[in-house]
Amino acid sequence: MTTTQDAAQHLARRDALAVLRDYARSSSAFLALNEGNRYFTVPGRTGFVAYRPVGRRYWIQFTGAVTPEHDRSAVDHAFAEAAKRAGKRVVAVQLERSDAERAAANGWVVNQFGSSYSIDLSAFSLRGRKFVKTRNMITRSRREGVTVREATPEQLTDPAFATRLDRLDAAWLRNKGRHVKGLRLMVGERGGEVQEQRRLFVAEAAGRIVAYISYSPVFGEKAGWLYDLTRRSPDAPPGVVEHIFAEAAQVLREDDAPWLHLGLTPFVGIDPDAALPGASRMLSTATGLIAKHGSAVYPAASQLAFKLKWRPTLVTPEYIAFPGRVRLRDLWSLARATNSL
């Protein structure tokens, strides 16, 4: 077998995209194409495992193996063996239920990490009393002179347009505080060689971009789009993000997209009935504490509130897995991989 380093070099991002189109199952699978990720492949097998090296000891795996079902166990095993030979410890994040069950059966410690939320666009509407507040926020944004449009394919690859968005990113990050850094790995990004695969909607006021939302493609059984990356100017009118979201959802629906996925929110929607045998009690307790009191660590409550206001029709548990007892260094390495610390 080739080494993981060699395999990572030989699988181009465009080839990984082709594999995702055929075999992706996670609604967040497109994020495997983020800069800094690598791809483990096995000769004679189709697909890959996406992972990110962290420090000298860790590989952070992103989602389950992206392979045909009949290759999944073999690729999982090969990746675990490659990690052992390289002296690396694997932490796997955003596993779907079937991947989590397979990991648990192989002796891994598997805990629910959070939940992802999805909207069936065929039934999506803002009519009715339950959306009164949301409609009022959108109306306020419009009264402030905000208009929403989708960026053209030409703009998505235009350096001048990217510079305008970069300035907005910088203003958004400064407003979060000097100790806050942009997250990565489990969130989307903008730019790079697959930028044209995304769709981006901008809100403009007085000729200036004041907010945008980027959507990434979702492949597989529940194909559609992933609500991926949001940026808002500190002085943008109230309701501007809701304004973009609502208009984008309508456009995507008119384009016959079946689903709009809102992505993973860690630490929320933890369901005892979704627990797997051998889950870590310590990690379960820590997850609950972060959900209730850890807004400084991760704004789970505010993220969840935004997603629930759209009345999602599907909630899916997602899991994190460790090859044995959970160590404090495991969580530290995950925080480093996501740029949380």
The torsion angles phi and psi of 61, rounded to 5 degrees, stand at -85, 135
Q: Is residue 288 included in any domain, yes or no? A: yes
Mark whether 237 and 221 lie in a shared domain: yes
Reduced to 3 states (helix: H, G, I; strand: E, B; else coil), residue 62 is strand
Q: Say if residues 321 and 100 touch (Cβ distance below 8 Å).
A: yes
Which tokens belong to 215?
Answer: 């959507």
Q: Say if residues 225 and 218 touch (Cβ distance below 8 Å).
A: yes
CA distance 326 to 138: 45
Mean pLDDT of the chain: 90
Mark whether 147 and 159 lie in a shared domain: yes
Mark whether 243 and 279 lie in a shared domain: no
- pLDDT tens per residue, range 87-107: 999 999 999 999 999 999 999
CA distance 270 to 145: 41
Q: Is residue 64 included in any domain, yes or no? A: yes
CA distance 66 to 22: 9
- pLDDT tens per residue, range 228-280: 999 999 999 999 999 999 999 999 999 999 999 999 998 888 898 999 999 99
pLDDT of 246: 98
Q: Is residue 157 included in any domain, yes or no? A: yes
CB count, 10 Å around CB of 108? Answer: 21
Which tokens belong to 33?
Answer: 């194409």
Q: Tell me which H or E stretch contains 182.
A: none
Q: Please report the sign of the dihedral spanned by the C-alpha atoms of residue 318, residue 13, residue 40, residue 334.
A: negative
Mark whether 78 and 144 lie in a shared domain: no
CA distance 299 to 146: 27
Mark whether 151 and 21 lie in a shared domain: no
Q: Is residue 309 included in any domain, yes or no? A: no
Mark whether 236 and 159 lie in a shared domain: yes
Mark whether 19 and 81 lie in a shared domain: yes
pTM of the predicted protein model: 0.91
Q: Is residue 87 included in any domain, yes or no? A: yes
Q: What is the DSSP letter of 116?
A: E
Which CATH number characterizes residue 287's domain?
3.40.630
- CA 206 from centre of chain: 32
CA distance 317 to 269: 7
Q: Using CA atoms in the order 92, 96, 102, 108, what is the torsion angle rounded to 10 degrees?
A: 30
Mark whether 128 and 219 lie in a shared domain: yes
Q: Is residue 228 included in any domain, yes or no? A: yes
Segments of the chain with pLDDT less than 70 = 1-10, 177-185, 291, 293-298, 338-341
Domain that holds residue 195: 119-262
Structurally, the chain folds into a number of domains equal to 2
Reduced to 3 states (helix: H, G, I; strand: E, B; else coil), residue 47 is coil
CA distance 305 to 310: 9
Mark whether 202 and 129 lie in a shared domain: yes
The torsion angles phi and psi of 267, rounded to 5 degrees, stand at 75, 5
Mark whether 229 and 135 lie in a shared domain: yes
Mark whether 282 and 330 lie in a shared domain: yes
pLDDT of 169: 92
Closest CA to 26 of 218, 194, 198, 217: 218
For residue 312, what are the CA distances in angstroms to 137, 235, 275?
19, 29, 22
Which CATH number characterizes residue 196's domain?
3.40.630.30
Q: Is residue 306 included in any domain, yes or no? A: no
Mark whether 205 and 81 lie in a shared domain: no
Q: Is residue 240 included in any domain, yes or no? A: yes
